[in-house]
Structure 1
Amino acid sequence: MNKSQQRQATRLLRLAQSGDAASLDTLLASYIGYLKVLSHSQLDPRIRVRLSASDLVQESLLEAHRDFTKFVGTTPAEFTGWLRKILVHNAARAVETHLLAEKRDFRRERPFELLHKAADESHDRLSSMTAAHGRGPASEAEHQDDLTLLSDAIEQLPEEYREVIVLRHVEGLKFTDIAARMDRTAGAARMLWMRAIEKLREAMSDVTHE
């Protein structure tokens, strides 16, 4: 989806709330990349063999489609937050189901409130990257569109590049922690991150010039 197609969030939301089913489908589809990026940090490693980020996103979008009439906001930012809550709820429910099968109490490990807080913090870190890629002041709707474009670009990166960017900019980890997660030295993790950022800049540049 190119930039001219993305600059429709407010209009699509308004049309969807007026009952236009096609606009709702288009609006939800535009959030796939954003939700996938968040899913990489929300999905507990213990259940990734059972539930992929794509599965979690699909489940969340289906739920959003089914319950769209319950959304009471009016702005793209509010809609983004609503989708984020659905994603976190589904991620938490999947982990709880898995841990209950192992006779463990998930709620004692990570209360739902902490999961929501972590998701909001991840969203804020991801949002801050839009300014880091040379974008000037923008309206709320434009910012949401930029966030979607950035997320789509991250999702299109090779797996290792995507992982290091998610760990650094979505989870907010230090390079020493990233190195441990990726089984590399801190120096190698930093070099990988630098290459990933360069590829991401190239991808974003291509999109903004379409």
Structure 2
Amino acid sequence: MEEREFESIDAHAGDSGVRQRLRQCDNAQLKKEFESLVAEHRAPLRAMVRARIEPRLRRRIDASDVVQEALLAAHRRLDQFLNQPAIPFAAWLRRMTLERLIDLRRRHYAARRSVLVEVGVSDGSAMTLAKTIGYQGNQDATDRRNESIDKVRTAVQRLSSADQQILLLRYVDRLSNVESADVLGVTSAAASKRHVRALLRLSEMLNGRS
């Protein structure tokens, strides 16, 4: 079954229990326990990555590979999670996965001597953001529809990386403000302000006021 780009993770379910289970493991048990815990998160993480891969990178960056590499890194850095009780397990996994994706994007664009783009936008993500701000664009013909998607993608990529991330987390990944703040490592108040600012900025650009 195809995974939806906006499938979400319950970021606050049983995090104290997760830490307890991991702390009780010896070295031989730890990998098996970790694999058991992350199993339910793999599909939503892949969907999150796909939502951030624009068409030009689809053949170069595979969502499953990104998630697998991120989870391997997460396993190596479990102490980081165990020593940060404020961050939910799901948010930490999202953060690790986004860091891995950004690293891969940096390598790709550096190799091509292109402008660095840390956050990508898939066609589906562009359409979701367009609907969020009421931007219709051209929907009649395929060429015109693609032109509208490209316009939205260009506008999103003119935003700061922080503004792009908050919009994708809120409207594509469908996370709450608190969950988005956990992923970004900021306060809920800061995430809320960033969200309003980014939404206004994107609306202004797409409606020709910027």
TM, length-normalised to structure 2: 0.48
Relative contact order, higher structure (CA 8 A, sep 6+): 1
